[in-house]
Structure 1
């Protein structure tokens, strides 16, 4: 190999080497950019999730305060008015004591809801049971909670989202469905939790887009937030059913 060929070989080798180095640097920078983009996307998703959780907590708190306001005005107010009437009419002391005792019991129940720690320590099964008890106590509707399988504690934020979804369903049942019965079932299956809420109210045409109120849309949106699925089935005069399906995350709750 003469000197000219050697020079040509060196030039070609240098060019190839530079191309390889440039390609490797480009791939590295591209990989780094994609990694940073993924980290940023993950961070933004986490921030959005936390914002939605905070929003959900505020909505739960607002719903609780609305309930408290109503109970103070209509329920406890009526009990205290009754006690006053009993005193004016000189009814037996036992009757007056019984009425006042009921008022105190109702106030104690409400005071637990007002406690700021109540929402922080929310536990799905107990939160639902408290709502069921309230409905029955105030004769809103005949309601019951059924537990199937071995109870599993879910992520706290997931339970908050589930409870808000159920709150919206309950609100629709109480205010619009004119139902007489409400049943909530928690099915703890080996790999997933199924939450089923069903009423026997008026129902509606699910195919009519005008019936897709903001509450029903929020339920489905919130389900996606915690990687669950929400299905709403309804027929006119046959009631409405909400089914939430939640596969346990990473093989656990």
Structure 2
């Protein structure tokens, strides 16, 4: 072998070693990026899970608080008035059987209201309800209290929803219902739940005074922001629309990951 050939061999070896080192560096950098990204994703998942659990806990607390307020209103405004009426009817009856029968009917109505109210008081009853049943119970209360005239239409075969997801969806609509009762001056509240093969589509609409939606959106009202953030947390699509003197609508579409019918 000549000196020139020897020099070429050394150069080729050096080039090979350099290329190998560069490849090792590239692989090392890529591996480092992969590990860092993996750790970031794990941290994001942990953060998302903690946020989800925190939102579940907050939603459950808010539902309980709203339920207690509802119970207080119903005891005072409905059952209390019925018992007071029954007392007056009894005192004024003077032994008249017809008036006593009216008092008995009033007391019977009060007892039926108490039985209905017991469902709200019993946490296990609420816990074991389906999403449809929970919404129906809320609308039944509005009808009993004569706040407005509610209606519920269910289309398709109901799909079971994870209890935690159902809690968040119910809280979104409970907040909408509460705003309707307090602020909208509506006389009707219509809810439609549509179950398809892979989605749950819920739309609530009142005929109230509505509001300037663009202005409320710009101000980022707490109620609207809460509904949107909760829907986003569970991967649901949500749309709130309203016009002055034309009512307000809430439309939510959720796609369960594991679908099975109730």
**Which residue of structure 1 aligns with residue 82 of structure 2?**
79
CA-to-partner distance for each residue in 1:11-60, whole Å, 9 max, x for gaps?
44444433333332332222112111111111111111111111111111
Can you give the 5+ residue segments of structure 2 that lack an aligned partner in the other structure?
none
Rounded Cα–Cα distance in structure 1 between residues aligned with 2:195 and 2:106: 41
Residues 159 and 259, structure 2, Cα contact 8 Å, conserved in 1: no
Q: Aligned Cα RMSD in Å?
A: 2.4
Moved over 4 A (4+): 1-12, 250-253
Q: How does 1:1-253 map to 2 (within 5 A)?
A: 1=1, 2=3, 9-90=12-93, 92=97, 93-209=100-216, 213-249=221-257
Distance 2:219 2:209 in 1: 13
Cα distance in structure 2, aligned partners of 1:251 and 1:214: 32
Q: Which runs of 5+ in 1 are unaligned?
A: none
Worse overlay, 74-83 or 52-61: 74-83
By how many angstroms is 1:70 displaced? 0.8
Please give the secondary structure, in 2, of the residue aligned with 1:207: helix
The DSSP-based 3-state class of the residue aligned with 1:249 is: coil
TM value normalised by structure 2 = 0.86
Q: TM-score of the superposition, structure 1-length normalised?
A: 0.89
Aligned length: 253
